[in-house]
A and B are shown apart, each in its own frame.
Chain A
Amino acid sequence: RRTTRGLIKQNKLVRAAALLILCSGFSLLCGCRGEVPPKPTGGVTIVPPIKPDNGPQAYPEAEKSNLPVFTMDYPRIQIPFEITLWMLLASFAKIGFHVYHKITIWVPESCLLISIGLIVGAIMHSVHEEPPAVLTSNVFFLYMLPPIVLDSGYFMPTRIMLHLVLWFAVVGTLWNSIGIGMSLFAICQIEAFGVQDINLQENLLFASIISAVDPVAVLNVFEDVNVNEQLYIVVFGECLFNDAVTVVLYNMFSFVAEMPVVEPVDVFLGVARFFVVGLGGMGFGILFGFVAAFTTRFTSKVREIEPLFIFMYSYLAYLVAELFAISSIMAIVTCALTMKYYVEENVSQRSCTTIRHVVKMLGSISETLIFFFLGVVTITTEHEWNWGYILFTLLFAFVWRGLGVLVLTQIINPFRTIPFNLKDQFGLAYGGLRGAISFALAFTLPDNIGRKQLFVTATIAIILFTVFLQGISIRPLIEFINVRRTNRNLGTINVEIHCRLMEHTIAGIEDLCGQWSHFYWKDKFMKFNNRILRRILIRDSRAESSIVALYKKLELQNAMEILDTVSGDISAAPSIVSLYEEKKSSAKPKKKFLAADLRNMHDILSKNMYKIRQRTVAYTNKHTLPNDSQTKEILIRRHTSIRRSLRPGSFQSTSHKYFSLPAGQSLDLKFPPARLSYTDDHETLSEVAYPTRRSRSGRPTRSSSRAMMPLRRLDTLTEAPSVDTVGDGGRITDHGVSRTNSSYSDSHVAPRRHLNSSNDNDSGSVDNLRNNHHEAPEEEEEPQPSSSSPVWAAEPRDGTTRNPLLRRPQWNPKKK
């Protein structure tokens, strides 16, 4: 609901945006106008006065050696200038889209980018300009592709069900390409179309280019339609993998295409090569990942260049793999995956943010540029149009995708706990848009392929078709077939609440039982990881579950976000809002609820209750950073409800000791915090990580006033980041049992033991201030009197100094 004023503002914005776009477009045009010949009088050189009169002058007018006031030297800056302008133009386009929020819902982003490209291309064409010939094979493969793939790799959720995703992404794409290739070859045999000169290899090559799908548009729709989570994962995985798969297939087939004769031996060799290439790439990636992780172990003093290591190592992995002609994509993806886990622990929080943002930014730019370029090229190049070939390409692409999804689902459905039904399959099949990579690959085909222009045209056609038609129509279609159950004759409000509770319960129990993962191997790996790898690769590797540190980081970020909002209004902080006491509704007369009220309530409930298992739904948009605000919200609210419901004697109070930052806490942290390596002696340590100069052992001297509650998780409180004036706490994240969602390390384990404040001392003054702010209103919630401290809470973590009061378990099974 926008007021008229809002509308006017919007219109102004739109006009401004359009103007900007046009301006940059025109300046680009001017820029493209080849070299501007240097003006003779504009020479920058100051000619020395002893210019002899010998020889005829080059220019008729005398060279007065006046100091030029204004000169222009375009050729010197031409290339960087044009590149920057292109990027800027594309980014303006992106800004422009979000002016109208509704657009981005209905139209996928790739669509919009291509449209802008088309417009610019039309402008260029009308003034008979050529687009800058920058998109060469080298430029694409060496500069534009790595960021895109790094982006996919870096933000890949570790929770992704690899076998499922690989099944659809890899096998599906293979199926597609071989199917399309074969059928196109069959079509080529028909004389009427005049494309007999395309042999099988070239057909296969072309098919491999257009077969990988990028169902990113589907993700947005699926999120709103509450789809089966595994389906979501498959779709998301396809998005991530499609680039990699396309390029790998392309490389494979192009290798084959160049061979004049293909023998059966070559096919086997080809398959073998595929594996070598793939596995080799992974090996390189892992190697580089470990090296990078190891390097970051020592970068505590050079925080500013930490992100550089990440980028350089990944890029290096890519280039070295290219050197050996093995799959550079696998290399960079595995490098990113391996690296991320360890690096995010070693590196400071700001570096981590920087890395993520830059990775996302680079990937985004690259992809934007490619789409944009696609739009421009569509208008400006000479097309070779062949009705038969192109139409059949479209048809086959569609048909084979549908078939592929059908067959693959049929094969794996028996093994799935929740089989994919027809609606899911339709969504999967229809959502198969083609991505930017297809275009880039087609455009950079080697010229020895005779029908290259036809391929380019066909690729453009199929991209445009899928992106525009399918991309725009997919949302209405899916919403149509997934009609929300509006006819649900809503049981009562009661039922709705209880049912949701039960769903959450089931989700929780399933997670507890580890239903999702074949955790046997994962467990083995995690054990190996903990024992060996972490010790080597992580600075100050300590035992798992630094829950406190995690929570502190979470709160920190939350506080920072609050302060970052326009008003910086602390009172908007969620934790404070929920501190309001509920009014005791005693003796209130029974309220009558009208039907409208009821409908409202149902509405509220259905819209606002947390969806089950949000973890992958956070990745709705490939173009934005993963959104974990819901998770944060859950955790923060739990934290506040814990504080509110502290009751002596209740079970909760035993575990959730909350310490608030004592007022007037020293914020000056120039002294290094005590490396609080918790040996087993520390039994009752309350305000644990408060570092003091004196007590190296870590027992804080100042803690007496708060030392009410003994704490259990001693090792978690070893919050000992290095002190840097930039002020980050060490990024100790919890990598306990299940490393879900490690891509955003905020959303880890529940911060039950909320010790954030005491650990904030370690962080820089600025952050501490913020947290202090955040903590200020919570000061009143003091811990309970010591009488209620239960015995078991005092027990230390290890087994040696066992609290005698702890009841021994009846049986002591042999531990593996």
Chain B
Amino acid sequence: MGSSSSNMDHIPDAQHLMQETGFSAAHLVRLYERFDFLDKDDRGELRLDDFEAVSELAMNPIGDRIIRAFFSPGRETVDFPSFVRILAHFRPTDTNRTRNGRNGAQPEPANSRTNKLKFAFQLYDQDRDGKISREELLQVLRAMLEMQVTEEQLQSIAERAIQEADLDLDDTISFDEFKKSLEKVDIEHKMSIRFLE
């Protein structure tokens, strides 16, 4: 796959990116190749249809939400740094980092538990108002459930979900409530993938 050094030249700000996201050089090169592969017209950035060309994503019930998560609001393309930054959320958590504690100067790494949770939260919260409304929850539920579930069942499930999580009784789930409801779940494991080199 070519020597990494020559490939790294293609990637701008490689060092900076590596530091920011925590990916190694090999990871970065591979991600770059993947980015390039997805980028059909060799534009240097990805657009919606490039994402949609990945057919497995099409078959994913929440595929469209995942795709949308890559696009920052207002932007219609994804360049390589943004691509990598989003993917950095899914790096396995470095346990030693958390153990050493973080000095305040260092920003929380992209793959921290909170940031992973934030990513998941934003999959629900499409209008980015910081809360998951009942409607948004219903949309996700509908996407994830098969046809056999009736509306009433859906409604009651959503109702129950909100009841469980909603602590301040505003009928929506805020990020903190979201985080709290998942406190017993091993997010670091669930929201990580092993990136290939």
Give B163's nearest chain A residue, CB to CB.
Answer: A590
**Is the Cβ of A608 less than 8 Å from the Cβ of B146?**
yes
- Give, as a whole number of angstroms, the nearest-CB distance from A490 to chain B: 11
The interface-forming segment of A338-346, A593-601, A762-770 is A593-601
**Is the Cβ of B62 less than 8 Å from the Cβ of A501?**
yes
Is B153 interfacial (CB-CB < 8 Å)? yes
Question: Which residues of B sit under 8 angstroms from A807, Cβ to Cβ?
Answer: 77
Is A609 interfacial (CB-CB < 8 Å)? yes
Question: Which residues of A sit under 8 angstroms from B77, Cβ to Cβ?
Answer: 792, 807, 809
Is B68 interfacial (CB-CB < 8 Å)? yes
**Is the Cβ of B146 less than 8 Å from the Cβ of A509?**
no
Q: A598-B160, A813-B12 are in contact. Are A608 and B49 (CB under 8 A)?
A: no
A residues 648-684 touching B (CB-CB < 8 Å) = 650-652, 654-655
Q: Please tell me which one of the listed residues A515, A642, A734 contacts residue B55 in the complex, with CB atoms under 8 A apart.
A: A734
A 534-545 binary contact with B (CB < 8 Å = 1; else 0): 000000000011
Q: Please tell me which one of the listed residues A492, A523, A634, A790 contacts residue B181 in the complex, with CB atoms under 8 A apart.
A: A492
Q: A515-B196, A605-B157 are in contact. Are A500 and B138 (CB under 8 A)?
A: no
Of the listed residues B52, B66, B137, the one surrounded by the most CB atoms of chain A closer than 10 A to its CB is: B52
Is B156 interfacial (CB-CB < 8 Å)? yes
Is A3 interfacial (CB-CB < 8 Å)? no
**Is the Cβ of B193 less than 8 Å from the Cβ of A506?**
yes
The interface-forming segment of A186-194, A298-306, A563-571, A741-749 is A741-749
Q: A511-B60, A750-B57 are in contact. Are A637 and B142 (CB under 8 A)?
A: yes
Q: A633-B147, A750-B64 are in contact. Are A601 and B196 (CB under 8 A)?
A: no
Number of B interface residues at 8 Å Cβ cutoff, please give it. 87
Give B86's nearest chain A residue, CB to CB.
Answer: A509
A 788-813 binary contact with B (CB < 8 Å = 1; else 0): 00101000011100000001011111
Question: Which residues of A sit under 8 angstroms from B165, Cβ to Cβ?
Answer: 492, 494
Is A493 interfacial (CB-CB < 8 Å)? yes
- Give, as a whole number of angstroms, the nearest-CB distance from A756 to chain B: 15
**Is the Cβ of A508 less than 8 Å from the Cβ of B66?**
yes
Q: A514-B37, A633-B146, A736-B55 are in contact. Are A505 and B120 (CB under 8 A)?
A: yes
Of the listed residues A498, A515, A747, the one surrounded by the most CB atoms of chain B closer than 10 A to its CB is: A498
Q: Please tell me which one of the listed residues A506, A508, A737, A813 contacts residue B63 in the complex, with CB atoms under 8 A apart.
A: A508
Of the listed residues B36, B90, B147, B178, the one surrounded by the most CB atoms of chain A closer than 10 A to its CB is: B147
Is A520 interfacial (CB-CB < 8 Å)? yes
- Alpha-carbon gap, A641 to B53, bound state (A): 20
Q: A502-B191, A505-B66, A582-B135 are in contact. Are A749 and B145 (CB under 8 A)?
A: no
**Is the Cβ of A513 less than 8 Å from the Cβ of B61?**
no
Question: Which residues of B sit under 8 angstroms from A583, Cβ to Cβ?
Answer: 155
**Is the Cβ of A499 less than 8 Å from the Cβ of B79?**
no
Give B169's nearest chain A residue, CB to CB.
Answer: A590
Number of A interface residues at 8 Å Cβ cutoff, please give it. 98
- Alpha-carbon gap, A523 to B35, bound state (A): 12
Is B148 interfacial (CB-CB < 8 Å)? yes
- Give, as a whole number of angstroms, the nearest-CB distance from B60 to chain A: 4
Give A545's nearest chain B residue, CB to CB.
Answer: B53
**Is the Cβ of B139 less than 8 Å from the Cβ of A513?**
no
**Is the Cβ of A737 less than 8 Å from the Cβ of B185?**
no
**Is the Cβ of A747 less than 8 Å from the Cβ of B157?**
no
- Give, as a whole number of angstroms, the nearest-CB distance from A767 to chain B: 23
**Is the Cβ of A502 less than 8 Å from the Cβ of B190?**
yes
Q: A585-B159, A604-B157 are in contact. Are A547 and B52 (CB under 8 A)?
A: yes
- Alpha-carbon gap, A67 to B35, bound state (A): 84
**Is the Cβ of B48 less than 8 Å from the Cβ of A815?**
no
- Alpha-carbon gap, A501 to B178, bound state (A): 13
**Is the Cβ of B123 less than 8 Å from the Cβ of A505?**
yes
- Give, as a whole number of angstroms, the nearest-CB distance from A444 to chain B: 43
- Give, as a whole number of angstroms, the nearest-CB distance from B56 to chain A: 4
Q: Please tell me which one of the listed residues B73, B153, B156 contacts residue A651 in the complex, with CB atoms under 8 A apart.
A: B73
Is A814 interfacial (CB-CB < 8 Å)? yes
Question: Which residues of A sit under 8 angstroms from B141, Cβ to Cβ?
Answer: 497
**Is the Cβ of A593 less than 8 Å from the Cβ of B156?**
yes
**Is the Cβ of A752 less than 8 Å from the Cβ of B49?**
yes
- Alpha-carbon gap, A25 to B14, bound state (A): 76
Is A519 interfacial (CB-CB < 8 Å)? yes
**Is the Cβ of B146 less than 8 Å from the Cβ of A610?**
yes
Q: Knowing that A504-B60, A523-B37, A737-B54 are A-B contacts, what are 6 other residue pairs whose CB atoms are under 8 Å apart, sorted by A's residue number?
A: A494-B164, A502-B187, A545-B49, A747-B58, A747-B59, A748-B55
- Which A residues are closer than 8 A to B by beta carbons? 417, 491-495, 497-515, 519-520, 523, 544-545, 547, 574, 577-578, 580, 582-583, 585, 590-591, 593, 597-598, 601, 604-605, 608-610, 613-615, 630-631, 633-635, 637-638, 641-642, 645, 650-652, 654-655, 712-713, 716, 734, 736-741, 747-753, 790, 792, 797-799, 807, 809-816
Sampled A-B contacts (8; CB under 8 Å) = A491-B185, A492-B181, A511-B57, A514-B37, A591-B163, A615-B56, A712-B49, A798-B41
- Which B residues are closer than 8 A to A by beta carbons? 1, 10-12, 31, 33-34, 36-38, 40-45, 48-49, 51-64, 66, 68, 71, 73, 76-77, 79-80, 87, 90, 119-120, 123-124, 126-127, 134-135, 137-149, 151, 153, 155-157, 159-161, 163-165, 178, 181-182, 184-185, 187, 190-196
